[in-house]
Amino acid sequence: MKLTIKYFGLLAEVTKRNEEQLDFSGTLINELLDTIYLKYPKLKEIDFQVAQNNEIVSKETIITQTEIALLPPFAGG
């Protein structure tokens, strides 16, 4: 499955892109993250949440949609 991965905040800085296309053949969000971690090991050090088709989901969720967003918390004010 071809997925579109969106990166927010610090994650976009680490990956040096706001979004990209990834080929993925697994099932769960967690498996997708393992693939992404291989590409960007630094992401492992950052806390973030995952949204599937603009809906925040747990990392044990089965991937059924093609748009995945990775969202870190922001502290600034």
Provide the phi-psi class of 37: left if phi over 0, else alpha when psi is between -120 and 50, else beta.
alpha
Return the number of the residue (23 or 60) whose C-beta is nearest other proteins: 60
Q: Which of residues 31-50 bind other proteins (CB under 8 A)?
A: 45-47, 49
Contact set for other proteins, span 47-76 (CB under 8 A):
47, 49, 51, 54-56, 69, 71-76
**Contact predicate 72/11, CB 8 Å:** yes
For residue 33, give the DSSP letter.
H
Nearer to other proteins, 25 or 48 (CB): 48
